[in-house]
Structure 1
Amino acid sequence: MHNQLILIVDDNPTNLKILSQTLTSAGFQLAIATNGEEALEEVMEELPELILLDVKMPKIDGFETCRRLKANPKAQDIPIIFMTALSETIDKVKGLSLGAVDYITKPFDEQDVLARVRVHLRLRAAQKQIIAQEKLASLGTITAGVAHELRNPLNFVINYAQSSIDSLNELFVNIQENPQLEPQKIINQLQEVIQDSQAVYEHGERASQIIESMMQLARSEPGEYQCINLNDLLPQALKLAYHSFRAKHLQFLMTIHTQFDSNLEPIEAIASDLHRAFINIIDNSCYALYLKFLEEQHGNTNFSPTLSLTTKNQESYIEIKIHDNGIGIQPDTIANVFTPFFTTKPPEQGMGLGLSLTHDIIVLQHGGSIQLDTKWKQYTEFTLTLPKIQQEN
């Protein structure tokens, strides 16, 4: 717990002195701000692990400071503990409703302050660990998808390269055995080598494009917003999620329909995070289709697993629809699909954080929306919206 940075925001020198002595003696590093504006600047310079925030301050008060911090994607997950002399329940409720995790009351009790700080730092550490595990699971999905995507062109490269070697060896033997070999026969075999070499080049280029697309995602630093076109990002997520799923369920095949708006305008987003969100939804669709596929196998029906993906330009936002004709979601579980740790899948399929993280990425991080329409045994459709880049007048 040593060396964790805590930001104290208070305009009272006495309070700052008491809190500084208490926290530094416990091994914490401190940053100090005397008003809300300074606090916002401090957070942008270096993200603290926790913020102690006074309610009553000059310029902007603690409530407004908290609201702005929670609206900032880089700072929204930092635990905030309000400090207040107010005893009214309504003020405490207001602070918690704005996203604060706790409050401490003035005058400060040293042991109470340390206990609350340590509890919320431990909770934050546990949350980070769980999210990291979920991201590793998502990375596993991406890795499996990339491996599958690369396998096909590399198989072609190997086969055509072997064919070229065989043709050249055959030509070499023929010339050795018959130095007067007809030129036309030599030309025919060389043409075969040229064709095979061209195929090697084309499939090598395909593999290179796959690697480059993943490198572009890798170069997108966490928290780095970029101007992106969803028509480029969605097909990558679709291929990787589907091929990863098929790597685990070889007998599963589905029909894919895409309808991308050719006039789609760009958005400002964190590409790697959106990519992860799309993979989470598509992976869920594949799982729903697979469950129905297994169920329908025993009924001798003509079920055809189908996933549809569309994008559409709207006035102020981009609309994305992901529709499958899979097993659907049971009515009594619909309300919990975005709840952390809720899952109907077996334990080996994940911890139930995929759709919860997807909701946070789309709604909290990118200011969009996500809606669910589903009917048990028939279909599920996710409708996502993401705001366009605002044009300056």
Structure 2
Amino acid sequence: MIKRLLLFLILASMTVLGQSEQETFENADLESQWGVISNDWSYKVGDDIEWSNPEFDDASWEKQSSPYLKAPASKEDNNKKEIVWLRKKLKTNYKSNQQLVLRINQTGASEIYLDGKLIHRLGSVSTNPDSIVFYNPNKDLLSFPLVSNTEQLLAVRYVNAAAQFPLYSVNKEGIILRVATLNHSNHDDPPLKQFTYGYYVIFGVGLLMFILFLSYYFFFPSERVNLYFALSSLFFALFVIAVLKSVYTHNVFVFGDFLAGIFIAAHAILALYCIYKILNKKLGFVFKIILILGILYIPMLFVISYELISPILSILVLFDTIRVSFLSLKTNRKGALIFLIFGGLNIFFWIGIIANELSLLEIPNLWVYQPFALLFVPCSLALYLGYSFGINSQSLQNKLIEVEQLSEEKQQLLADQNIKLEKEVVARTADLMATLDNLKATQSQLIQSEKMASLGELTAGIAHEIQNPLNFVNNFSEVSNELLLEMNEAISKSNYDEVREIVTDVKTNLEKINYHGKRAEAIVQGMLQHSRVNPGLEEPTDINALCDEFLRLAYHGLRAKDKSFNASLITNFDESIKHIKVVPQDLGRVILNLMTNAFYAVNERSAEAKRKGYEYESTVSVSTKSIGDFVEIKVSDNGNGIPKRILEKIFQPFFTTKPSGKGTGLGLSLSYDIIKAHDGTLKVETIENDGASEKSGTIFIIHLPKR
């Protein structure tokens, strides 16, 4: 009843106006109020343009007196889209110079005739239902040229075209005609203006609350109730838009009732949900029933006007709000009191509206405040959320003050702790720097040790290489000594021809001694270069000669340690390779390391072959090849190969598969770094021994740029 009355007043605002100044056209003071043309109308269902003629006799027509003019219900049901003609004779003694105007509201289309002349066509009237065009002028002002003290005939050709949905509605159908002066029409009744403006005000309030609480949610996403209330306020604003659209549109707003019903239901249920959340109440049986009714409410809007069924949902929400608030008085007294007070005011207001309509109370223009009554629940929520926000802000401010006080009290302690920490950091930093220096020194020592280890590998080979020139020096020295003795004897005999021959032989021997001495010097010089601590400079180097030299040195070095060791040495050098710029001692160290590893691998497999009794021939090969802008060096062996599980680790520092004392684990790591420093690459390919296969082995591949 409450909502029905409210929404009826909204959708038929001019009817409300008639209630506030309900005077017939004949009795109204048209300069101060609207007069409704409602009495003594003659009507007939059918269509004949002659019926607009003032001379036509309508004595046999039926009569009706009503603000809303249409065919009676019994005829309307049988002639839903039939045209009805309405005629009335008017005579007024209105003498003001003010022009008269019409204001018409209708639920169909009409043509207005005065003394047989068409003065207004509102929509399109037709006997064909599909050709009818609905048009409702609403608050538009229409000219009405009545002549004072002259009887005139007003005829209306009307066809009803109310919306098909919902099937059952409280909205009145028909056409209502009001008359006033032009001056008064521009100064509508103040209560009506307040009523209309009220809906614009509550729309603004709803939109403002939506923006405000949505902003609260964005800043404080943990407070999700702000989001729910923002959505509730949005639906409230959309409800007001739908209502105003229905009131002020000229055409049929087909889904106006449907949308208004959905928006007001969503607003009410979300508002109730917010109240549950604020009061920390579980969504019990009553809320679930209301929610189910809200869901069933949506399809019912196609059958029954929301003005009839929304009051039921609204009353349930209102009374459940009061129930939950009453139950929360002990746990959240302030919130419960706010909702109880606003809920009580809401109930008392609507009771006053009903009593006023039933003439039990006399409160002038109480209906004007109906729009603001819709704000009771939203305002209670906004008030509590604002109060809660203020409490939280105050609590946060108090905590900030406590933190500041605590900061001041503990400031000295923190300063002392900072000083202590700074001292500890300095001490720890000094320890770390010392440890780092030790690590660097140890690293340098390890690298030098690896260099010296490789030098040790060279020692036996160098000794073998240097032995040959030394043997020549010794032999030619002994021969020269014997020749000098013979020369002394020849001098004593004055045999100068023999002396000259002996001098020639001695000179030849000395040249050979010099040659082999320089050869020994070159071998020693190479050893000294290899043992340098500082990195050398790049210089043009014969790669083939370098590889051949270090292959021979590595082999003889291992032979010196193990006389039983023997291996086939295979070389395949690309003679087209010219000198390329490298650091010879560094590259020699790499080749020596790869050769040493290769000889170690074939020696290990040779020992294994002897234990297991299968034939095996140790083979180590080195090859060079020119490939575009790079020189390729391959060092290969037919040893046992490298297991796949450790293949990715072989270039890591300190990783070795050799027994303790036989390797530092730095050889391949340093070799990788040396080749990388030359802008080259070092890769490995391997086939692991499966027991007795001769195809196993390892190939190390070096690519160096030509420069």
Scaled to the shorter chain, the TM-score interval is 0.5 to 0.7
**Distance (whole Å) between structure 1 residues aligned to residue 706 and residue 586 of structure 2:** 17
Residues 220 and 271, structure 1, Cα contact 8 Å, conserved in 2: no
| Alignment partner of 2:469 out of 147, 153, 156 | 153
Residues 1-393 of structure 1 mapped to structure 2, 5 A cutoff: 111-112=424-425, 114=429, 116-166=432-482, 200-214=513-527, 221-222=534-535, 224-298=537-611, 303-363=616-676, 365-377=677-689, 378-389=696-707
Deviations 1:288-317 (A, max 9, x none): 121122233456655332221111112222
Change (3 A) 1:294 1:188: farther
How many residues are paired up? 278
**Distance (whole Å) between structure 1 residues aligned to residue 514 and residue 536 of structure 2:** 37
**Distance (whole Å) between structure 2 residues aligned to residue 199 and residue 385 of structure 1:** 40
Deviations 1:210-266 (A, max 9, x none): 234445657895253334332243233223322222221122122222222222244
Q: CA deviation at 1:122?
A: 3.4
Letter of the aligned partner of 2:608 in structure 1?
Answer: E
Of the structure 1 ranges 274-283 and 261-270, higher mean CA displacement relative to structure 2 is found in: 261-270
Change (3 A) 1:321 1:131: same
**Distance (whole Å) between structure 1 residues aligned to residue 506 and residue 539 of structure 2:** 44
Q: CA deviation at 1:154?
A: 0.9
Letter of the aligned partner of 2:549 in structure 1?
Answer: Q
Letter of the aligned partner of 1:369 in structure 2?
Answer: T
Residues 220 and 272, structure 1, Cα contact 8 Å, conserved in 2: no
**Distance (whole Å) between structure 2 residues aligned to residue 255 and residue 192 of structure 1:** 41
**Distance (whole Å) between structure 2 residues aligned to residue 134 and residue 351 of structure 1:** 7
Residues 455 and 530, structure 2, Cα contact 8 Å, conserved in 1: no
Letter of the aligned partner of 2:478 in structure 1?
Answer: Q
Residues 237 and 278, structure 1, Cα contact 8 Å, conserved in 2: yes
Q: CA deviation at 1:160?
A: 4.0
**Distance (whole Å) between structure 1 residues aligned to residue 526 and residue 440 of structure 2:** 33
Letter of the aligned partner of 2:650 in structure 1?
Answer: V
1:22 aligned partner: none
2:53 aligned partner: none
Q: CA deviation at 1:384?
A: 0.8
Q: CA deviation at 1:209?
A: 3.5
Q: Secondary structure at the match of 2:549?
A: helix
Residues 530 and 586, structure 2, Cα contact 8 Å, conserved in 1: no
Letter of the aligned partner of 1:285 in structure 2?
Answer: A
Deviations 1:139-177 (A, max 9, x none): 22233332221012212322343345456657878999x
Deviations 1:249-284 (A, max 9, x none): 122122222222222244443322222111111111
Residues 220 and 270, structure 1, Cα contact 8 Å, conserved in 2: no
Q: Secondary structure at the match of 1:380?
A: strand
**Distance (whole Å) between structure 2 residues aligned to residue 370 and residue 146 of structure 1:** 27
**Distance (whole Å) between structure 1 residues aligned to residue 511 and residue 520 of structure 2:** 14
Q: Secondary structure at the match of 2:450?
A: helix
Change (3 A) 1:189 1:328: farther
Q: CA deviation at 1:116?
A: 4.5
Change (3 A) 1:130 1:265: same
Change (3 A) 1:194 1:265: closer
Residues 601 and 640, structure 2, Cα contact 8 Å, conserved in 1: yes
Q: Secondary structure at the match of 2:446?
A: helix
Change (3 A) 1:196 1:345: same
Change (3 A) 1:159 1:358: same
Change (3 A) 1:122 1:217: closer
Deviations 1:172-198 (A, max 9, x none): 78999xx799x99x9999998788666
Q: CA deviation at 1:132?
A: 2.2
Deviations 1:44-78 (A, max 9, x none): xxxxxxxxxxxxxxxxxxxxxxxxxxxxxxxxxxx
**Percent identity for Structure 1 against Structure 2:** 36
Q: Secondary structure at the match of 1:137?
A: helix
TM-score, normalization by structure 1: 0.59
Q: Secondary structure at the match of 1:347?
A: coil
Change (3 A) 1:203 1:336: same
Letter of the aligned partner of 1:346 in structure 2?
Answer: P
**Distance (whole Å) between structure 2 residues aligned to residue 309 and residue 354 of structure 1:** 18
Which structure is richer in relative contact order (CA contacts within 8 A, separation 6 or more)?
1
Larger Rg: 2
Q: Secondary structure at the match of 1:124?
A: helix
Residues 261 and 311, structure 1, Cα contact 8 Å, conserved in 2: yes
Change (3 A) 1:323 1:165: same
Q: CA deviation at 1:383?
A: 0.4
1:19 aligned partner: none
Q: Secondary structure at the match of 1:295?
A: helix
